[in-house]
Structure 1
Amino acid sequence: MAAIDTDPTRLSTQIVDKTIIMGDRGVLLAVLDGMGGAASGDVASALGREVLLRGVHEATIDSLQDLAEALGAATVQAHSAIRDRAAVDSSCSGMGTTLTAAGVLGDQAVIVQIGDSRAYVLRGGELVQVTEDQSLASELLASGRLSPEEAANYEHSNVILQALGVNDRVYPSITKLALCQGDVLLLCTDGLTDMVRGDTLSQTVRDGADDLRLLAQTLTTKAKLAGGFDNISVVLARCEGSELPDARAEPPSVEPMKVASTPTAPPPVRRRLEIALLLAALFLMLAMAGVIILLG
């Protein structure tokens, strides 16, 4: 069973998040959170979704490694497609999108991460985040420059280190996850996790896991009531099937995968921080331009 809910911010009727559930040859779940001036964030997320779907659909997938290669190649292709569109259309300059995708094949999932949308797994009543935010706040937290409390309230928490279409190259994080009977996968954009955090998010997912459609609506409603200043997208799926083992006592954890279709090493931390600061400056300029247009 799977469910999707997407809701625009209370401050805007434009939706730049895109979601995917595809289940003909296995399952592909994804969320994409577009960014950029005017309507270009919507263009970026829609284009990323289109290329990702096409890449996976056209690939020959007979194994988990095949799935990882297909997702990795499609991610790089999506990155190039967004950059190419921006190069020929000035209204799309600076656009980009996050991507968090989970391809499920048998009792395993391949997870692809670009940016700060997230994937979680609910197992045995515990909600565990299985992606790492590729954000400035997360990088500073990992390096010890911010405490967990400071990172949660960091003023530049929206600055990400990677986005499809923004950097010269993109370095997808690709991992695999062993699934169990009854696992619930949650993929979401930061419109949810910025508003519904920690124990509140865990309790809500745990209490609502019996009805995923209602749970998706409940999560977006809670995010809106908490402020809802960003678009909110939620994808939920329950893992069921005879090939899945019974739930294990240990929490879910991911393992990195080597994928030939993608660059093998991320940029150094210092370079990533420089990119983050450049992105912050770019998005500030775009926001100021939007204000000038509205006031003009």
Structure 2
Amino acid sequence: MPEISSGDRVIELPDATLSLRWAATTHTGRRREVNQDAVLASFPLFAVADGMGGHIGGEIASASTVDRLRAVVETGPVSAKTIEKALGRAVKDIASHPETTDDGTGTTLTGVYLDPTTDPATWVTLNIGDSRVYLLRDDDVVQVTTDHSVVQELVASGRLSPEEAENHPYGNVITRAVGPSESVTPDYVRLDIVDGDRFVVCSDGLTKELTDFGIHHFLSQHDDPAGAVGAMLDAALENGGRDNITIIVVNVSLRESAAGATADVDSSTASA
């Protein structure tokens, strides 16, 4: 089984203490020879990129995108502006690589990051392509991001039902990606920070094998992020594992506090 990385962080906000725990993993699946997914789980950004393209083009595209975003995390701050600059650099990286081509090479990108600059602080999701961010809140699982795909456009126009979309032959055809030809701006959704929230960030290798109900089931069965990640991965592989599978689970705990200033306190990361 692949490694499941885990981490935690405590952040003092002006009027509350925010505690985060997360876990992440990526797996080639049962039918692919190469894992073209890439994952970044490093506070304050949790993101998944699902590469596409012949030979190793998709692997290069997803890795280049995640590497550029990792640099943003390390230097800060993480914002829409710095993310889009990083994506512009990734586009140049992909275009200049000798083993990528303009024909079909690119990557999806989806994720969520903490924005402490608003009052109060908020989460922001970002999305390009058909990888997804889900939110478990009040025992309901909701897909926060909207797929950029031919099938989603057909559903939105009323020409296809959600049930028909599940097995549509164009299910893998996406309409937006980070590629070698031009920069793409993500869609953003801003969310309140709520105690007890849980995020799932994943590539479509998970959602091809697991329904929203299945995601809800495994989150309900496993309070620990690593346990939830491992259980969902096992289920996806058991159901066929037709694609690369990447999963991040983030647990949110928010407690009111008398702190008067924003300060980032103790943090730790570990691998299991």
Q: Return the TM-score normalized by structure 2.
A: 0.79
| Contact residue 48 and residue 203 of structure 2 kept, 8 A | yes
Residue 72 (structure 2) aligned to one of 33, 48, 55 = 55
Per-residue CA distance 1:214-268 (angstroms, 9 max, x = gap): 1101111111111111000000111124369xxxxxxxxxxxxxxxxxxxxxxxx
The equivalent position to 1:44 in structure 2, one of 61, 78, 90, is 61
C-alpha RMSD over aligned residues: 1.8
Q: Quote the Cα distance in structure 2 between the aligned partners of 1:155 and 1:166.
A: 26
How much has 1:99 moved relative to structure 2? Answer: 0.4
- 1:34 is matched with which residue? 51
If each structure's helix is expressed as a fraction of its own residues, which one has the higher value?
Answer: 1
* Counterpart in the other structure of 1:102: 112
Equivalent runs, 1:249-260 vs 2, <5 Å: none
Aligned with residue 163 of structure 1, among 169, 174, 177: 177
CA distance in 2, matches of 1:73, 1:56: 13
SS of match in other structure, 1:239: strand
Equivalent AA in structure 1 for residue 87 of structure 2:
T
Q: Is the Cα contact below 8 Å between 2:209 and 2:240 reproduced in 1?
A: yes
- State the match for 1:18 in structure 2: 38
Q: Residue 14 of structure 2 corresponds to which residue in structure 1?
A: none
Q: 1:212 to 1:51 in 2, by over 3 A?
A: same
Post-superposition Cα deviations, 1:249-291, rounded to whole Å, max 9, x if no partner, equal xxxxxxxxxxxxxxxxxxxxxxxxxxxxxxxxxxxxxxxxxxx
TM-score calculated relative to the size of structure 1: 0.73
Query: Which ranges of structure 2 fall in alignment gaps of 5 or more residues?
Result: 1-20, 258-272
Distance in 2 (CA, whole Å) between partners of 1:74 and 1:149 is 37
* Structure 1: 5+ residue stretches without partners: 245-296
Tell me if 1:219 matches 2:239: no
In the alignment, which of 83, 93, 97 is matched to residue 71 of structure 1? 83
**Secondary structure of 1:15's aligned partner:** coil
What SS does the corresponding residue of 1:4 show, helix, strand or coil?
strand
SS of aligned partner of 2:174: coil
Contact 2:91 2:182 (C-alpha < 8 Å) held by counterparts: no
Match of 2:146 in 1: 132
Give the AA of the match of 1:231. Answer: N
Asked if the contact 1:114/1:134 (under 8 Å) is kept, the reply is yes
User: Relative contact order, CA 8 A, sep 6+: which one is greater?
Assistant: 2
Q: Provide the residue aligned with 2:263 in structure 1.
A: none
Q: 1:135–1:160: 8 Å Cα contact kept in structure 2?
A: yes
SS in 2 for 1:240: strand
Match status 1:198 vs 2:218: no
Q: Quick one: structure 1 residues 122 and 180, their matched pair in 2 at CA, closer, same or farther if it must change by over 3 Å?
A: same
Letter in 2 for 1:83: A
**How high is the sequence identity, in percent, across the aligned residues?**
34
Q: How many residues align?
A: 231
Other structure's SS at 1:71 match: helix
Contact 1:45 / 1:96 at 8 angstroms: preserved in 2? yes
Residues 8-17 or 32-41, more deviating = 8-17
